[in-house]
Structure 1
């Protein structure tokens, strides 16, 4: 990439890129993350002191935990107008979908405190909208907690989302929170219970009429298909995936209430469901995606997740080289998401054992994701 191309991709001024490369100025964490995202590498690779991005995220988790502990007793401080708060929450959601977790933990503690102040000092008529914003902000924070293995913190954030959504009085947002809540069942390996919870959410959701309603209902079916697979309920998994596909065909691919849904998202979940079910389903999934790859328009977190799951399916099918290529693709798309995914560490370690005498890049990858 030329300096101009890098500056455009990272949304950083060309003069700033030139000065950093000449050593004429330092680099802030925000600029470092933006450049790393543009290059598709972990920010640690760009630092001379090798302070890893994942270390900075983990160090920030206690601050995030502290601010949610005072959700009903926020500290005094300024509060921006509602449109500015909405814009900040929307930006955090974009970071979540792009798997830019360092940015989230840097900005969310202050934003969550400000939203709590706004909610508790607002007139009753304004509280539902602020509650919706709290749900969105809690969800972005939860993405970091869950992906980085802080499952107790994640569960607490999910409970706060469930509290806030009752104040928002929005059935579609309630369905979205049920979608996110499934994380707690994944973490506890309580898959059958998670499937029951999603079935209840589907029963409570309004009959879909609008595009948003089709998408939110379809996302619930998509999620239910995966957890049904983990519960080894093949019939339910196939049924829910078919329902999701039918609903996806009625809407375009997009982000609805913070969740990516549409035909491409359902295609990506075909592999996820197959890996959950195992056995002959894996081979079928590999055949199904042979002619399809996730488009660039799909959020980075979803694309990287697809390649992580594809790698597992390929590894189970004896396609070790293909599996490693898929893991590298996931890393290029979303380094932080890939590095913290437990399947990546497991599969990289397995690949290294299977191909111990292979290229140095495999060992480098295993060391990068802490598989060795």
Structure 2
């Protein structure tokens, strides 16, 4: 149904485009939303209405929920939150899916790969909108396949569950996230891929982060490292290296300095043997290890924070890395800068994170906490900071 521009939709689109850092041009918005430049111009001037589909495409490109463009003030509740029950319903019958057509495996393979790209690009609205149907279709395909042909449907299920989990975890639905991780663990033995098993062990750490059971999480990761295949080729090196990166971070959260340093050293040594690449949706290589070095320093806190600033002073994550990981770097850096008394630098880092991956940044709890702290510290009214705090629902 078309949405009228007379009520201010166009000016709100122009506003959100202008507060991007760096500012997004109309041409850039046109390219990102796949909407004609002339159409963007007319919408912003209020000369034409905008359909629901076009509004969603523009909102995705701007990294805001469409409701933000329809009303002056929108609730923190978003369309992604609205979609979570559908994901939950789709996995409730993972072992007894409803009868229906079974899509060809090549179509399911393409859809699962697309969802993984959306996850790496932090496009959570798209995942939430498409994953419920995909999860149901994959469950049908898995159960319809003969026992000796279930490996690929199981692999695709694991990857789709992981994309759904990214949405659940990032949007605070930790119980749903834990359920999705358990389903990954259920499906992965059928996949017959030990490297995918390592990837699931990496993701499982979210449950330990969410419950603050850091030492238990460290033990689980160390067991997973021991179970990985010998690092004799690039994929196996990446699998083990990713687990060491993750173990270093959770060791930092546990304030186990020696374990964090040991796992970070192991990750560095493995990263030196491979180029930066994406393994089962997890980036690993020298650049990813640098990002995790910042994360470890922030996790350890206190005198270690300076190391995060040193890394950032010498290096910035390249554009080739997944958006979710790059934005995470700047979110972690912003916290380190805030703790170091560099409030202006911290805010700049948050704005960079927002530009890279708006949805990831907006939903990150540290962003809300740090934006609220910055707003209090600045004392004098800052329209830009106030707008940012309202955007991420900081209190």
TM-score range, shorter chain: over 0.9
Give 2:51's aligned residue. 27
* Equivalences for residues 65-104 of structure 1 within 5 A: 65-104=88-127
* Equivalences for residues 321-360 of structure 1 within 5 A: 321-360=344-383
CA contact (8 A) 2:76 2:393 kept: no
Q: Helix, strand or coil: the match of 1:289?
A: helix
Task: For structure 1, list consecutive stretches of 5 or more residues without a partner in the other structure.
Answer: none
- Alignment CA distance shift 1:353-1:50 (3 Å): closer
Give 1:296's aligned residue. 319
Deviates more, 1:113-122 or 1:357-366: 357-366
Give 2:239's aligned residue. 216
- Alignment CA distance shift 1:25-1:354 (3 Å): closer
Report whether the alignment pairs 1:259 with 2:259: no
Give 1:320's aligned residue. 343
Supply the distance in 1 between the matched residues of 2:130 and 2:232 (Cα, whole angstroms): 36
Report whether the alignment pairs 1:203 with 2:226: yes
Supply the distance in 2 between the matched residues of 1:363 and 1:219 (Cα, whole angstroms): 38
**Residue of 175, 185, 188 corresponding to 1:165:** 188
**Residue of 129, 135, 140 corresponding to 2:158:** 135
Aligned-residue offset at 1:348:
1.0
CA contact (8 A) 1:64 1:109 kept: yes
Supply the distance in 1 between the matched residues of 2:305 and 2:99 (Cα, whole angstroms): 54
Deviates more, 1:240-249 or 1:141-150: 240-249
CA contact (8 A) 2:65 2:78 kept: no
Deviates more, 1:194-203 or 1:19-28: 19-28
**TM-score scaled to structure 1, two decimals?**
0.94
**TM-score scaled to structure 2, two decimals?**
0.88
Supply the distance in 1 between the matched residues of 2:26 and 2:342 (Cα, whole angstroms): 38
Deviations 1:128-173, CA, capped at 9 Å, x for gaps: 1100000000000000000011000000000000000011121000
Aligned residue pairs, count: 371
Q: Helix, strand or coil: the match of 1:298?
A: coil
Give 2:3's aligned residue. none
Supply the distance in 1 between the matched residues of 2:75 and 2:320 (Cα, whole angstroms): 28
Task: For structure 2, list consecutive stretches of 5 or more residues without a partner in the other structure.
Answer: 1-23
Aligned-residue offset at 1:39:
4.5
Give 1:364's aligned residue. 387
Supply the distance in 1 between the matched residues of 2:48 and 2:33 (Cα, whole angstroms): 19
Report whether the alignment pairs 1:275 with 2:275: no
Supply the distance in 2 between the matched residues of 1:79 and 1:13 (Cα, whole angstroms): 36
CA contact (8 A) 2:60 2:125 kept: no
* Equivalences for residues 5-84 of structure 1 within 5 A: 5-12=28-35, 17=40, 24=48, 26-29=50-53, 31-39=54-62, 43-47=66-70, 55-84=78-107
Deviates more, 1:47-56 or 1:302-311: 47-56
**Residue of 103, 115, 120 corresponding to 2:143:** 120
CA contact (8 A) 2:181 2:203 kept: yes
Deviations 1:98-153, CA, capped at 9 Å, x for gaps: 11111001000000000000110111222011000000000000000000110000
Aligned-residue offset at 1:11:
3.9
CA contact (8 A) 1:20 1:27 kept: no
Supply the distance in 2 between the matched residues of 1:5 and 1:230 (Cα, whole angstroms): 39
Q: Helix, strand or coil: the match of 1:296?
A: coil
Give 2:217's aligned residue. 194
- Alignment CA distance shift 1:23-1:75 (3 Å): farther
CA contact (8 A) 1:44 1:53 kept: no
Report whether the alignment pairs 1:184 with 2:207: yes
CA contact (8 A) 1:6 1:38 kept: yes
Aligned-residue offset at 1:32:
4.0
**Residue of 259, 264, 280 corresponding to 1:241:** 264
Supply the distance in 1 between the matched residues of 2:247 and 2:108 (Cα, whole angstroms): 32
